[in-house]
Structure 1
Amino acid sequence: MPAAAATVEVVVDGADPGTSVSVALCQGGLSEEACSLGQELTARGGTVNVVFRDVPAGRYAVAAFEDVNGNRKLDRTGLGLPIEPYGFSGGVGLKARPTFAQAAFDLREPGTALRVGLARALPRR
């Protein structure tokens, strides 16, 4: 039997209109290597809508960040704290980086829809 495939629809809230938002689908962890399937879109009205199609069923998490300065990476302080707004699936807070298990969801056919809210770990500079 062929592997089941599904659609993941993600709405990211909290971005400044006109900024770039990166949204990644992660499997097995939240590292850059585990989050290899991603899209980058421009926020309209503070929201970005992303659709990942033909995703094999499994356990995933979503990681997103607002690329305020347009350098295509999540900027951090010297201590590793994110400077730009970011968020994860699972409704996890931003007091600390969540584990994959905290942010994960099970994907089955035909798919799922979820929301990710962006927040800042540190005040604007």
Structure 2
Amino acid sequence: MKREVCITLSLACLTFGAEAASLEVVIDGIESPPSTVYVALCQGGLAENSCRSGQDALASAGSRRFIFEGIEPGTYAVVAYQDLNGNGRLDRTGLGLPLEPYGVSRGVGRRSRPDFASASFTLSEVGTALRVRLARGLSTR
């Protein structure tokens, strides 16, 4: 019985030993007119099913700050886009190229398709702050 209690307590310490972290994400390059900016925190990949934690907010030209709290320490990437036409998604061409302003952590994806390995960063227990710059998609606006 004593051994079971020790094992249970040891497992509990392992489970709760790492404190949840916070992540501050500043999105730069937001265009006028005011529209919704979407930001997602991804783990393991950049596909939608890997980006389970997200936020959105109405934003106008300039920058907007987003705070993610209670995030387990680990390796993540951030993706963001500005929904200029209000349809709730990042519009793309038939080839999959973005038509609206978008950005990925660590500035990847400007010259080639972004990948998780290039965009990822380590979120520690004390938290992290980073900036993501939106770049214009292929829109002719």
TM-score by length of 2: 0.83
Q: Which runs of 4+ in 1 moved over 6 A?
A: none
Partner Cα separation in structure 2 for residue 77 and residue 53 of structure 1: 34
Q: Give, in whole Å, the separation in 2 of the partners of 1:28 and 1:63.
A: 13
- Say whether residues 1:9 and 2:24 are aligned partners: yes
Q: Distance in 1 between matches of 2:66 and 2:112?
A: 25
The residue that corresponds to 2:66 in the other structure is 50
Return the alpha-carbon distance in structure 2 between the equivalents of residues 26 and 79 of structure 1.
23
Matched with 2:42 is 26
Kept in 1, the 8 Å contact 2:74–2:124? The answer is yes
**Between the two proteins, what is the percent identity of the paired residues?**
55
Q: Which letter does structure 2 place at the counterpart of 1:57?
A: P
Q: Conserved in 2, the CA contact under 8 Å of 1:74 and 1:84?
A: yes
Partner of 1:104: 120
> Which structure is larger by alpha-carbon Rg, 1 or 2?
2
Higher relative contact order (CA 8 A, sep 6+): 1
Write out per-residue CA displacement over residues 76-125 of structure 1, whole angstroms, 9 at most, x where no aligned residue: 01111110010011122411221101000001111000000000232434
Identify the structure with the greater helix proportion: 2
CA distance in 2, matches of 1:14, 1:43: 11
Residue-pair matches, total: 125
Asked if structure 1 preserves the Cα contact closer than 8 Å seen for 2:19 and 2:73, the reply is yes
> What CA RMSD, in Å, does the superposition of the two structures yield over aligned residues?
1.3
In structure 1, stretches of 5+ residues that fail to align are: none
The alpha-carbon deviation at position 44 of structure 1 amounts to 3.8
TM-score, normalising length: structure 1? 0.93
One of 77, 80, 84 as aligned partner of 1:68: 84
